[in-house]
Structure 1
Amino acid sequence: QPDPVVLLDCAEKHEGFDSRFSAIRRSYRYRIFNRPARLTFERGLAWHVKAELDAGAMNDAAQEFVGHHDFTTFRHSKCQAKSPEKTLEAFTVRREGQFVIAECSSRSFLHNQVRSMVGTLKLVGEGKWTAQDVRAALAARDRKFCGPVAPADGLYLTGVDYRPKDEDLAKAKAKKLEESQR
């Protein structure tokens, strides 16, 4: 049986629309199953972390990522993005029973950025790092200061936002005009 995919909404877009480059926001959720016993039904769908995590401390430390930063520390070494600078709009971490849920949104992300940030926040949840350690890792702009990269199990793209069609067309027209005047 193929992986379940459900279409919840759709909208007509103009010629020249690009699903990747026209996006104005992407949202991700990362699920950590936080209990000593191994996973059963959630196997492959969440990161299993046995040690008790402090979701409140993780949430506080996640705020270090919010805003415009150079995310070199949290970028895969083979990332092809032109710049390591990104603006993270929001990052929250909360506990829901045995799950620790991390959610973040930005116009765009670097390769492995979300998994790198979540792996680093796990260290905070375990009491091994503080928010100040996260701040220092971000400021280092060096991959060796990153915490562990969280596994792909547990990472979900939960939304991609686009401008309304008329607004997107107006922006595309303005961009073409600007390019023609150069």
Structure 2
Amino acid sequence: MLVEYDGAAFHGWQRQKGQASVQQAIEEALEPLCGGPVTLHGAGRTDAGVHASGQVAHFDSPRARLPGAFRQALNVNTPHTLTIRSCMAADDDFHSRFHAYYREYLYRIHTRFTYPALLHNHIWHHPKPLDVAAMNAAAEHLLGKRDFSAFRAAACQADDPVKILSLAEVSQAGEEIHLRIGANAFLHHMVRNIVGSLALVGRGEWTSERFAEVLAAGDRTQAGPTAPAGG
């Protein structure tokens, strides 16, 4: 299935005791359809407040139903902040996490002086100008196969900090600045930590060279702050 959700309504993707999560909402809606508990496997986890426009997930159903029937029933029985965009039968050996070869994030920064109320929880409001060209130049240092320990959260459980970035682009879109980052996989808080450091470049506090030095040093304490989840 392809899942879309407003992360402000959930405490992230993964099921957690006492917290609303995307996985829990879908699994609870699947249970009566499948005649018992099922486990939903996502292509990756998201933090509390992070949104998804197309996250892949899969489950094994003991009952045969048409994909459209699953989609329709799930969209009736899950919160309005979550939508199953599509659903299809997959090969028996398919796994949404282990077969994912590419993931892409869009991070949105809004630089209007006054807070954009209609975009609440969907942007990082930064009411000061940012140098987009300087940020884009710094982002180019991220491309390729690199050790991203400098942008890795202390709680990250990944075995290997080395990832392959094939997209790192900063552009102006009206009153917003868009950062697109694509890779084979990401570390915990990696995108938000990268954005926080690129913002320092955009404010003129760091040069592109300084950004590259921090990346090469691999020390999280030298990097910038973690950008807000809503963006």
TM-score > 0.5 by shorter chain: yes
TMscore range, shorter length: 0.7 to 0.9
Given the two structures, how large is their TM-score scaled by the length of structure 1?
Answer: 0.80
Letter in 1 for 2:162: E
1:13 Cα deviation after fit:
2.1
Letter in 2 for 1:35: R
SS at match of 1:139: helix
User: Paired residue for 2:30?
Assistant: none
User: Paired residue for 2:142?
Assistant: 65
* Alpha carbons of structure 1 residues 4 and 123: separation in structure 2 relative to 1, 3 Å: same
Q: 1:5 aligns with which of 83, 107, 111?
A: 83
Which runs of 5 or more residues in structure 2 are unaligned?
A: 1-78
Q: 2:230 aligns with which of 153, 156, 159?
A: 153
SS at match of 2:194: helix
Q: 2:155 aligns with which of 71, 74, 78?
A: 78
User: Paired residue for 1:15?
Assistant: 92
User: Paired residue for 1:33?
Assistant: 110
User: Paired residue for 2:181?
Assistant: 104
Please say if 1:87 is aligned against 2:164: yes
Alpha-carbon distance between aligned partners in 2 of 1:139 and 1:44, rounded to the nearest angstrom: 32
Deviations 1:87-145 (A, max 9, x none): 11110000011100000111101010000001110111111111111101111111101
Please say if 1:49 is aligned against 2:126: yes
Alpha-carbon distance between aligned partners in 2 of 1:32 and 1:135, rounded to the nearest angstrom: 22
Alpha-carbon distance between aligned partners in 1 of 2:147 and 2:139, rounded to the nearest angstrom: 15
Given the two structures, how large is their TM-score scaled by the length of structure 2?
Answer: 0.64
Bigger relative CO (Cα 8 Å, ≥ 6 apart) = 1
1:27 Cα deviation after fit:
0.8
Q: 2:198 aligns with which of 121, 136, 144?
A: 121
Letter in 2 for 1:143: R
1:16 Cα deviation after fit:
2.4
The root-mean-square deviation of aligned C-alpha atoms, in Å, is 1.3
Alpha-carbon distance between aligned partners in 1 of 2:184 and 2:177, rounded to the nearest angstrom: 24
* Alpha carbons of structure 1 residues 81 and 57: separation in structure 2 relative to 1, 3 Å: same
1:20 Cα deviation after fit:
1.2
SS at match of 1:41: helix
User: Paired residue for 1:179?
Assistant: none
- Moved >6 Å (runs of 4+): none
User: Paired residue for 1:177?
Assistant: none
* Alpha carbons of structure 1 residues 6 and 58: separation in structure 2 relative to 1, 3 Å: farther
Letter in 2 for 1:5: T
Alpha-carbon distance between aligned partners in 1 of 2:83 and 2:204, rounded to the nearest angstrom: 37
Deviations 1:19-75 (A, max 9, x none): 111101001100001121123111111000011011111111100111111100100
